[in-house]
Amino acid sequence: MTILSRRPTEGAEVDLDIGQPSAFEPIATEARYRAPKATISSDQSKTWLRRALPVVLAHKGMFITSLVLSFVGLMIQVQIPKLLQDAVQNAVVAHRAALHTYIVAMVALAIAAGVAGYISRYFLMRTAYEIEFDLRNIIYTHLAKMSFPFYDRVQSGQLISRANSDIRSVQMYLTFAPSILVQCSVALVAFGYMLSISVPLALVAMIPMPFVYFLGVQMRKRMFPVSWLIQARLADVATIVDENTNGVRVVKSFAAEQRELTTLAKAADRLQWSYIKDADIRATFTPTVQNLPQIGLALVLLFGGWLALRGSLPVAAIISFSLYIVMLQAPFQMLGMIIMMGQRAAASSKRIYEILDEQPTVVDRPGAVDLVDCRGDVRFDSVKFKYSDDNPLVLDNFDLHIPPGQTVALVGRTGSGKSTVARLLARFYDVTDGRVLIDDKDVRDLTLTSVRGNVGIVLDEPFLFSVSIRDNIAYGAPTADIDDIVAAARAAGADEFIRELPEGYDTVVGERGYTLSGGQRQRIAIARTLLVNPPILILDDATSAIDVQVELTIHGALRRLMEGRTTLIIAHRLSTISLADRVLLMDQGRIVADGTHTELMATVPLYAEVLAQGEKEDAERMANAGGDGAASRLRLEGLGPVGPSEPEGLGMRGGF
């Protein structure tokens, strides 16, 4: 995996002496695991098996060795009935040879067959796990390339199901089906020995086999749609579990546990019905398929006994024939299983291919170049954008120019398109019409990695990984030393609470960082972005969950950081807007006012209305969190720097 970032300036001081932005420079962390040697064929006209064949052939050495040794072991076993026949005929009946000679030979054959079987099984399982490893990496690599519109419409539970149970179904068939075919080929060898002993008796023994084939075909036809249904409903259950796990706080806050359990129970009932239907089909066909060869054994005893009584067949031949019939039974007994595995693998492969056949929509154009020595000049030129063809325009002829080094605050009602501006600048999405330019270059003509390496974004809903705080902060710069990490944390106002944790920077946060408060998570997210030192910085309501008093303490560091850096602040708080050189008011996907806070307050009634609504919402949020709800005491008129000299009424204190 390659992680792109900007190297922190050497010798960063703890007061965030990170320095000015430098040229784009990729930083790669060496992959710990090898990449798959082959991938799924992209030719959709091929059968699912032919598309998966390159992955199997990538391990052909180990796989073929396994199959060859399996064949050798089974060929050795085929000799045992013939040896037993000779022992009975020559040592027991005719007394022409010593019995112990045959016993020693059979023991030696059994040991040789066991050794070959053990090694074969070992290589077979190694191949199975190697193929499973490759399939998981192929899917994950593809998912990592997919664009944001893909994740907007795909449920995570569906992806989890395809990356787990569906892969396992495909892997089992790809590895075990050839092994069973080898056993079937040995059955042909056994049938050849039967023909050499007695052609009529061999033909009688094979009478049930056409019926076995016919039943197998019928079983396959009936199992495919049920197998598809099982995999789809497994994914439905995974989706519900995933959503309830991630949204457990919402579920509990509305006391909706029983309703969610009912939803899961309904999905589980549908899955149970599918499994029962699958079991019903197998119960109908499998016993017949597995036991029809027993009729062949009965016919051998009946017809072979009649031939022996007439003197046309040695009695010892009936014994060897019976053992050969038992050998023939094993492949047919597994025939039902291989049909079931095949149908489930076919259904699972189609679900996997649905993902792999999806192509990312935001990709590098041919000839795209890296954005180097970024000055931070940002321009939106007549941009129109909507998230899908069925949705209305979010931005409509949106124009904006931010000169290098300027800090701009973007203000507007919810749904006015503020966050969309940030997403287009980082090229999470491509514009529907118009252009987004950085340093007079269309972002679509630049490589994605260099654009995102030069544009740092802190979202309003910070995501933390279940690793240490140190690793979370250093996510974009994994080679950063602890001094740089501490400097970024201090600048974000996070160092103090981090040091109070049991293991400090080595404290492992829970899933999504929920062991920390919302404000603490936001400060770590800010530190993570500060560490990569981007020339263009986007703060998308990045301090919305931070106590106003705490926010004020980090403004000094943020002001220093913004010097010489192009910064776009999406905000609703007056204290955050105070960081900006220029304020833009958005409404219905366009900029409707541009100026300083004082100018807009005096001339644009909508601006005062939007700020008042934002302050009201902020006060309500603080009150619900346990504060006194007095954040709105910051006056709308004449906004200026607000410092620690005005502590009263600024929100929660010590709430984190």
Assign residue 560 the CATH number of its domain: 3.40.50.300
Distance separating alpha carbons of residues 40 and 358, to the nearest angstrom: 13
**Residue 147 covered by a domain:** yes
- Residue 635 predicted with pLDDT over 50: no
- Residue 636 predicted with pLDDT over 90: no
- Of the two residues 20 and 334, the one the predictor is more confident about is 334
* Average pLDDT of the residues of the chain: 79
The set of long-range contacts for 427-431, using a CB threshold of 8 Å and a minimum separation of 24, is 427/362, 427/451, 427/452, 428/147, 428/148, 428/362, 429/147, 429/148, 429/149, 429/362, 429/385, 429/387, 430/361, 430/362, 431/383, 431/384, 431/385
Are the C-beta atoms of residues 117 and 355 closer than 8 Å to each other?
no
- Residue 239 predicted with pLDDT over 90: no
Exposure on the CB side of residue 371, measured as CA atoms within 13 A: 33
Query: What per-residue confidence (pLDDT) applies to 65?
Result: 94
Domains held by the chain: number: 2
**Residue 367 covered by a domain:** no
Over the stretch 245-257, which tens digit does the pLDDT of each residue have?
Answer: 666 656 766 677 7
Q: Output the domain CATH number for residue 301.
A: 1.20.1560.10
Query: What per-residue confidence (pLDDT) applies to 649?
Result: 30
Query: What per-residue confidence (pLDDT) applies to 626?
Result: 44
Distance separating alpha carbons of residues 348 and 280, to the nearest angstrom: 20
Q: Residue 111's domain spans which residues?
A: 48-356
Same domain, 245 and 126: yes
Query: Poorest-confidence range of 38-42, 191-195, 399-403, 525-529?
Result: 191-195
- 308, containing H or E segment: helix 257-310
CA distances for 450 relative to 5, 427, 474, 528, angstroms? 9, 11, 18, 18
Over the stretch 534-583, which tens digit does the pLDDT of each residue have?
Answer: 899 888 876 665 666 666 666 766 776 677 789 998 877 777 788 888 99
Same domain, 469 and 325: no
Would you place residue 287 in the very low, low, confident or very high pLDDT band (cuts 50, 70, 90)? confident
For residue 369, the 8-state DSSP code is: B
Same domain, 324 and 444: no
Would you place residue 16 in the very low, low, confident or very high pLDDT band (cuts 50, 70, 90)? very low
Same domain, 309 and 449: no
**Residue 394 covered by a domain:** no
- Residue 354 predicted with pLDDT over 70: yes
The DSSP bridge partners found for residue 567 are: 407, 537
Same domain, 103 and 177: yes
**Residue 466 covered by a domain:** yes
Query: What per-residue confidence (pLDDT) applies to 585?
Result: 92
Would you place residue 127 in the very low, low, confident or very high pLDDT band (cuts 50, 70, 90)? very high
Q: Residue 103 has which token pair? A: 């016993």
For 43, counting Cβ atoms within 10 Å of its Cβ (0-12 exposed, 13-18 middle, 19+ buried), the class is exposed
Same domain, 428 and 326: no
Same domain, 452 and 313: no
**Residue 6 covered by a domain:** no
Would you place residue 92 in the very low, low, confident or very high pLDDT band (cuts 50, 70, 90)? confident
Q: pTM of the full predicted structure?
A: 0.71
- Residue 388 predicted with pLDDT over 90: no
Distance separating alpha carbons of residues 342 and 627, to the nearest angstrom: 61
Same domain, 294 and 411: no
Q: Determine the average pLDDT of the residues in 506-510.
A: 85
Query: What per-residue confidence (pLDDT) applies to 553?
Result: 63
- Of the two residues 584 and 291, the one the predictor is more confident about is 584
Over the stretch 33-47, which tens digit does the pLDDT of each residue have?
Answer: 677 888 899 899 999
Would you place residue 186 in the very low, low, confident or very high pLDDT band (cuts 50, 70, 90)? confident
Same domain, 148 and 274: yes
**Residue 213 covered by a domain:** yes
**Residue 301 covered by a domain:** yes
Query: Poorest-confidence range of 192-201, 202-211, 582-591, 629-638?
Result: 629-638
**Residue 605 covered by a domain:** yes
Same domain, 156 and 294: yes
Q: Determine the average pLDDT of the residues in 161-179.
A: 86
Same domain, 432 and 337: no
Distance separating alpha carbons of residues 475 and 150, to the nearest angstrom: 24
Same domain, 347 and 413: no
